[in-house]
Structure 1
Amino acid sequence: MFNSPLPSANELPSSRQLVRSTAIAFAVAMGLLVTVVMPSEYAVDPTGLGRAMGLTQMGEIKISLAQEALADEAAAKNPVTASTPAPTVVAVAPPASAPAQQVAAAQPTKPAAPAGKSDETSLTLQPGEGREIKLEMRKGSVVTYAWSASGPVNHDTHGETYNAAQGDFHSYSKGRQVKGDKGELTALFDGTHGWFWRNRTSGNVTIVLSTAGDYLTVKK
């Protein structure tokens, strides 16, 4: 067996060299943390390089998927039990004339407009894709809505204030693997309020949204 000779004192790095190497390694690690790890994992991009390289968008997608997974897990643990609706008394009106019935049948069903404007917006989701449609609303304003999908989708009706931080939003309602929803949305604060859908099927899904009420703009 051959033993390697021990290095001499002159061959060993000095304390100054060790400190310098440690400082360089620390600076490189911090640079990678700020420019690569934080944008790609947490969507935090203090330098702006992460968004330029597409890493911040990756982090935003990861956060969105994590939030959706948590929502799916919570929904699976706490299934909502549908309550039996109260009986509704319907007043019988005199039969309408044949021409009036034909005109009424030809008109699509849309939400009644309490005030303001109305729009119909559509989008198509590819497999695994998630997109949203938002309305810019003032606090206290009311919108009625109805949307339908050509296939089952996961959805989250939510809103956020202007310049809200990443992940800071208020959820109004959620659903998994449904083909439609309708109701009334009252804005709790100034900001954007609307719907996020994700297609978990293997084919494209088209969504048509009808809105009517007191809102400023539609953002797609």
Structure 2
Amino acid sequence: MTTEQISSSTLWKATTGAIIVGLVLLVTAILPAEYNLDPTGVGKALGLTELSPESLAEKKAAADDAKAGSNSDSAGEAVELTIPPKAGLEYKMVMIEGNQVDFEWFTNGGAVYVDMHGEPKGDTTGYFKSYTITTVNEMKGSFIAPFEGSHGWYFRNDTDQAIDIMLFFSGEYQNPHLL
């Protein structure tokens, strides 16, 4: 077995390279995602500035302002959900057949398992109809209820850290609630 000795100039070159890579990542990814600071514009191009707590707070404030401006369900609502590690929760609303809800949700970075589904009103068998089942960190769309009942999302966090979800929705629904 042979051992090679690394020269001090090689060690300094490797250290300098690691520092440069770290600084590039700091400026292009970490600052935009965590602090909404984007000196190069790369963070915005990659969508990283949308993940910052400041950006999430601005979106929530805008949704709250829209909700405050009207008393109808169609004005929209914003809900912040926190899913603990290795846990799940449901967020549902009551809809009449043919009612439509537009929605958008995103996490603070981590992907979650989501099952968007509905349960018919008055059904006691445990039946539910899934519309979307996937693992993602964001989703946007429109939904028309195929039957009267409870419709919404089951989110599951399979990671070891809590994940926050910002959920925005508007349309024809009643009684939005966390289960």
Counterpart of 1:135 in structure 2 is 93
- Which structure has more RCO (C-alpha within 8 Å, separation ≥ 6)? 2
Paired residues, number: 112
SS class of match (2:105): strand
Give the distance between the partners of 2:75 and 2:121, measured in 1 at CA.
22
Does residue 162 of structure 1 match 2:121? yes
Q: 1:199 to 1:157 in 2, by over 3 A?
A: same
Shift of 1:209: 0.5
Alignment of 1:42-81 (within 5 A): none
Counterpart of 1:212 in structure 2 is 170
Q: Is the 8 A contact 1:117 1:214 kept in 2?
A: no
Counterpart of 1:73 in structure 2 is none
Shift of 1:166: 5.0
Aligned counterpart for 2:149 among listed residues 158, 181, 191 = 191
Instruction: Give the counterpart letter for 2:149 in structure 1.
Output: G
Shift of 1:167: 3.6
Give the distance between the partners of 1:149 and 1:163, measured in 2 at CA.
33
Counterpart of 1:173 in structure 2 is 132
Aligned counterpart for 1:119 among listed residues 77, 81, 104 = 77
Q: 1:166 to 1:213 in 2, by over 3 A?
A: same
Shift of 1:116: 2.6
Give the distance between the partners of 1:194 and 1:117, measured in 2 at CA.
18
Instruction: Give the counterpart letter for 1:200 in structure 2.
Output: D
SS class of match (2:134): strand
Instruction: Give the counterpart letter for 1:169 in structure 2.
Output: F
Flag structure 1 segments of 5+ consecutive residues without an equivalent: 1-106
Instruction: Give the counterpart letter for 2:127 in structure 1.
Output: D
Q: Which has the higher strand share?
A: 2
Give the distance between the partners of 1:181 and 1:167, measured in 2 at CA.
26
Deviation above 4 Å: which 4+ runs of structure 1? none
Give the distance between the partners of 2:160 and 2:82, measured in 1 at CA.
13
Give the distance between the partners of 1:117 and 1:139, measured in 2 at CA.
20
CA RMSD, 1 decimal: 2.4
- Structure number with greater Rg is 1
Give the distance between the partners of 1:140 and 1:119, measured in 2 at CA.
20
Shift of 1:201: 0.5
SS class of match (1:116): helix
Between the aligned residues of both structures, percent identity stands at 33
SS class of match (1:160): strand
Shift of 1:164: 2.5
Instruction: Give the counterpart letter for 2:114 in structure 1.
Output: H
Shift of 1:165: 3.1
CA offsets 1:10-56 (integer angstroms, 9 cap, x no match)? xxxxxxxxxxxxxxxxxxxxxxxxxxxxxxxxxxxxxxxxxxxxxxx
Give the distance between the partners of 2:125 and 2:75, measured in 1 at CA.
30
Shift of 1:118: 1.1
Flag structure 2 segments of 5+ consecutive residues without an equivalent: 1-57, 64-72
